[in-house]
Each structure stands twice: as C-alpha cells, then as structure tokens.
C-alpha cells in the first residue's frame, strides 16, 4: 500500500492542486494530518477536495478554531482574524464536517497519524526530547505528525534517537528515507499550504509500505495567485507575505 501523506493545507487550493499533480497516481490511499483550513483563501474548496480524496483525516488546531470548537484566545491576532474570516466563509455542511473530525492519534493500517504531539494535539514537536514520547507511545512503528510546518522528523533505534534532516535543494524535488525494521519513526511531511522551514514550495510525503520507503517531496506552485485571492479577501498582510519566503 502507498499512502499520500498531506498536512497543514491551510485552505490553499493552488498548493494542493500542485501536490496532487506531482503525486500523480502513485498512491492508493490518502491520510491528512489536520489544519485543512485556516490562513488561506479557499476553505470550502479545500474541504471539498479532501472529501473527494476520501482521505483519513484528523483535526488540527485551526480546524477546531474555524468551526467554533475552541475559541481563539491562544491565537495571535493575525491567526485569530484568519480563523474568524474562515468561520464566516465555511458552509454549514463544512462547519459540521470540521466539528466531527476525529482527534489523533488515528491508526490507518500500519501507520498512525497525529496533528501535534501524541498526547497533546496542540503541542509543537520541534526538539528530540518532545519527539521521544511519540516515538515510544505510537501504536505503530511509523507515526506521521504535522503542526510545525517543518518537513523532517526523528527515528529511534536501540535507545538512540536521531534527527532526520531533509534539505532538498532548489533543483531537487524529493529525498527518500529508507524504513528499517526495528526502528521507530516520527515523520513530518511538511505543510502543503504554508511551509515555514524556509522552502516556499508545497510539501508532502508518499509512504510506500511495499518498498519501505518514505519520499519527502517539494513542489513549486503559483504563490502569487494565492496571494491575490488573500488580498481580495482582506486576509492579514503578514500571512500573505510569508508564503513568498516559506517562513
């Protein structure tokens, strides 16, 4: 089985289209790690697209805030404004869909998916010390997480924890990680719609469990067209600008 792993689409349909074009037909099933909406200009379109993909999807903090499950008191003013705008745009059906999204961890075959940390969906897992819990407590040897918008991850073998650094150059579109038996993995596909690791290209992963390989992809997309829609919607300027830099 081959899984298309997408996370943090953040209502960016143009980036999602580029991801689906690049992934082509090389997957059998889609998993989505949350933050389907929030920040971007296309919340209804992206919810429809995720539904059409029949993706196994868990909720992210922006999904919760945009459908009113949580208030936005711990959001910064820019994120709050975007969440309020998103809530106004979403159709009643899509608001209901977001409210019903399950909380991670969700097990999909031999993979587990979480949004933030394994025991706290809102925690940002950046450091090895934060990753250890997920590596040890995931119900599966491979667990995918999102939320940080940084592509990469961690592995654990014989009590040795390693950071998996991925820095595909501007000319390369993917790097592959070989999955070893007896090793546990906590892997982040990066963000489709709002990368923050310094590479503005849309990020995703393909987990090929037949060949024990996870491919981490970066694909360019038409950032300016998204920025134009954000301007037209009156979304906050810092959110528009950061897409250019992937920060």
Task: Please report, as ranges, the residues that interact with Zn ion according to CB under 5 A.
Answer: 8, 35
Angle at 221 between CA 37 and CA 238, to 5 degrees: 55
Output 39 or 179, the one with its CB closest to Zn ion. Answer: 39
Output 122 or 180, the one with its CB closest to Zn ion. Answer: 122
* Minimal distance, residue 63 CB to Zn ion, in Å: 9
Provide the 10 A C-beta neighbour count for residue 20: 18
User: For residues 50 and 9, what is the distance between their CA atoms, to the nearest angstrom?
Assistant: 10
Cis upstream peptide for 105 (omega within 30°): yes
Output 102 or 139, the one with its CB closest to Zn ion. Answer: 102
Q: List, in order, residues 6 or more apart from 24 with CB less than 8 Å away.
A: none
Output 8 or 121, the one with its CB closest to Zn ion. Answer: 8
Output 35 or 215, the one with its CB closest to Zn ion. Answer: 35
| CB-nearest residue to Zn ion | 35
* Minimal distance, residue 196 CB to Zn ion, in Å: 9
Q: Is 218 exposed, middle or buried (0-12, 13-18, 19+ CB in 10 A)?
A: buried
User: For residues 38 and 66, what is the distance between their CA atoms, to the nearest angstrom?
Assistant: 7
* Minimal distance, residue 32 CB to Zn ion, in Å: 12
Output 42 or 208, the one with its CB closest to Zn ion. Answer: 42
Instruction: Kindly list the distances between the CA atom of residue 1 and the CA atoms of 4, 50, 89, 208, 210, in Å, as whole numbers in the listed order.
Output: 10, 19, 36, 6, 6
Using DSSP, how many helices (H) and how many strands (E) does the chain show?
8, 12
Q: Are 243 and 223 contacting, i.e. CB atoms less than 8 angstroms apart?
A: yes
* Minimal distance, residue 145 CB to Zn ion, in Å: 11
* Minimal distance, residue 1 CB to Zn ion, in Å: 26
* Minimal distance, residue 183 CB to Zn ion, in Å: 27
């Amino acid at each position: 089985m081959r899984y298309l792993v997408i996370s943090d689409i953040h209502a960016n349909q143009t980036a999602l289209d580029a991801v689906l074009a690049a992934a082509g037909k090389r997957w059998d099933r889609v998993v989505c790690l949350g933050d389907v909406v929030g920040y971007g200009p296309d919340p209804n379109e992206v919810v429809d697209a995720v539904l059409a993909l029949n993706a196994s999807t868990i909720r992210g903090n922006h999904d919760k805030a945009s459908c009113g499950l949580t208030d936005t008191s711990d959001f910064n003013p820019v994120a709050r404004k975007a969440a309020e705008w998103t809530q106004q745009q979403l159709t009643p059906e899509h608001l209901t869909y977001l409210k019903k999204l399950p909380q991670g961890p969700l097990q999909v075959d031999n993979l587990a998916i979480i949004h933030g940390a394994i025991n706290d969906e809102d925690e940002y897992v950046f450091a090895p010390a934060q990753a250890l819990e997920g590596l040890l407590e995931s119900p599966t040897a491979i667990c995918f997480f999102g939320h940080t918008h940084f592509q990469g991850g961690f592995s654990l073998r014989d009590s040795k924890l390693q950071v998996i650094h991925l820095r595909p150059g501007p000319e390369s579109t993917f790097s592959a990680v070989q999955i070893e038996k007896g090793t546990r993995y906590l892997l982040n596909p990066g963000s489709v719609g709002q990368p923050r690791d310094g590479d503005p290209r849309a990020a995703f992963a393909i987990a090929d469990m037949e060949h024990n390989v996870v491919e981490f992809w970066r694909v360019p997309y038409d950032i300016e067209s998204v920025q134009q829609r954000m301007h037209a919607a009156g979304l906050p300027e810092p959110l528009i600008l950061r897409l250019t830099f992937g920060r």
